[in-house]
Chains A and B, each alone.
Chain A
Amino acid sequence: MNRPLRRLALAGAVVLIGAAILVAAGSAGQAKNQIARGGTLNVGWEQSFGFTDNFDPTGEYLGDAFGIMDNLLVRTLVGYNHTPGADGNKIVPDIASSWKISNGGKTYTFHLKSGIKFGPPVNRAVTSKDFVTAFERLAKPADGAEYAFYYSVIKGFDEYGKGKAKTIAGISTPNDSTIVFNLKAPAGDFLYRVSMPATGPQPAEVTKCFEGKAGQYGRDLVSTAGYMIAGMDKVDISSCSALKPASGFDGQTVMDLVRNPNYDQSTDPTRKNYPDEVKFTVDASADDIYNKIEAGQLDLATSSIPPQVLRKYATNSSLKSHFFQNSGDRTWYITMNLTQPPFDDVHVRRAMNWIMDKAALVQGWGGPTIGAVANHIVPDTLFNFKLQGFKPYKTPGDHGSVAKAKAAMKGSKYDTANNGMCSDPKCHGVLLLADTRAVDTKMLPVIEADAKKIGITFTVRTINGAYPTIQTPSKNIPIAERPGWGKDFADPVTFFSPLFDGRTIIPKGNTNYSLVGITPAQCKKLGVTGDCSPYDAKTGLGVPSVDAQLDKCEALVNTEASDARTVCYEGLDRYLSTQVVPWVPYLWSYVTRITSNNVTHYQFDQFSTTPAYSQIAVK
């Protein structure tokens, strides 16, 4: 063959092959796009629903409830893509088509899409006034709100809640499709705050019947998204006395959701809404649930997976396609009380971080399929893996290191023999509060044995439901292994303010368990014994405060040009992990889910850290 012909032949071959590849890709893409619509998605729920406000969006704080609401029932001004990873934590338009931030970050103007209607029995278009209804319910404590503090930044919100004003001054509705928020101060995470289900539009003609009655509206929740509670079309809203709960949700054993006839898919690019029906059923035991999933009677479950089932699915190649692991955006940690000996000394706290066999603790939870060993405060996913290499207490195999721990202990006031062991009498018989879950039984021997290696011995007390005790500063619990903390939304502020701000420490329900930033005056008022004097870098004793840094980071806003806010929080994580050391974080848990053979397509919703119910397809 002469040269030009050869070149032609070669080019032709390339074109043919290229075309073939394109066709193949196209048909594969076609096949992928042909996800089946229809069918019923059956979800099993262990023991009881456990809703915090009986599914009333105003007060409902359960993570699993968020997943149901934001995927299936409640649209908000801004929302998410209902996908895993960073894409799923990103703010995208939902009911609002666009928004404008002005006035130095203190004014937010949202323009609403048209064609968004309430589901039966309300059946009318959603207006800006319906958002006002939702915020008014959030403001009034009697309506059961559980995260109203996010909205105190809106002008007039607290005054309205206390009954001092007739309306919320900072929210205005110039017309039906515009809503304006005026804030007292700039809040860099405000968009995240209006993505929460409590801020979704609510019809005043229905919610007025539940005024002051927390925990009742949930059974008559009026939908704005692809599904509605079964039986809502039969609910009579002509008067409050005629209003009965919808038949599809009995509050205890079953929640049945069917398609919302008033929903316009064209207004909603993010929710795919594959199944015709989504049914949540309460089942007695995890054992039972996973047997039913294997048999195909259930398709999915909200409960945690017993280790033997995990093992079966993770090791069996034919079952692996039904096994899904995603980041839970949650840290599990041992909390140390900065006011109680011997943990009032940073040397001891650092030594605790060095000595803990974190791999064994994670193994007690179920091993690497349950989560990854935690290296610092905030899960890497929330910082987009920028802090992935930051492992201040890394040891071989994550089994802990006696040598490093002793080195860290040296110089502590409790190291009386100057050999790196905690030998002061205050190191012996320290009160450790544990819960009674199965995983606590597995973790306790490891924690006790490790602490003993640096001379600390514990008096262990167990209680069923340890949180209320840990949340009460006056109980003066030195150390507890129960806590875990998950994000509310993807801004790091939810991982810092409630946990480390000294000014928000309250006598009951306190979430700053370590009492970071507590002052001697507060200690006296709250009944905290122990030394609350400020941190002394020379001795390592005392209580450090990060309040100033928290304020600095919170005031920053991420823009297209710089993510100064995130960088600030990254610095704060580093500081807390190395200089304050209030925790021994040990696990960043995954959300592991198993599906039945009926499920043809599974997706995870990173915002709620639950399965993305609207994006899951069944046969």
Chain B
Amino acid sequence: MAGETLIRQMAAGDREAFGSFYDRYASLVYPLIVRIVRDRSDAADVLQDVFWEAWQSAASYDPSRGSPEAWMIMRARARAIDRVRALRRRGETFVAPMDEAVSAAPDVLGGDAAERAEDRGIIQGALGQLSVAQREVIELAYYAGLTQTEIAERLKQPLGTVKTRIRLGLERLREAVRRAP
């Protein structure tokens, strides 16, 4: 059954539809959440929040504004980033000064060697179409939740350069997805 139909049934209070919806989309969003928040128990909390929200806001889903996949991914990414930022803020307040906290943010390009090899293996998809510099800024924004200003500071690049890289990177990503079947 199409995701769209499931969401409509959820909006009508159909718990079975919710079960099917969960089975279909949990495995899509969970890896993204883990990637962003890292900690598995935090990720489980975020996963629950994301689906609880989906259940409650099913009635406001508008298929003309995006696919169910995009609807769920956006929500998952947003809640995961919220979690990371909250943790970072707590860290800033009680432990680390600001710049240390920023550099302590999940290092998407670093990670341990195994993880990096793993990433290299699978990013032969759309991200592989991007230059290293473009990939870097998009990952810092999308997975680490840094703003353009924070990215510029972190990379020690002018803000204008960061903006252009994000735009070109995203354009290339869109093209790659458009070309894909």
Q: Do A and B bind each other?
A: no
Residues of chain A whose beta carbon lies under 8 Å from any beta carbon of chain B: none
User: Using a CB–CB distance below 8 Å, which chain B residues touch chain A?
Assistant: none
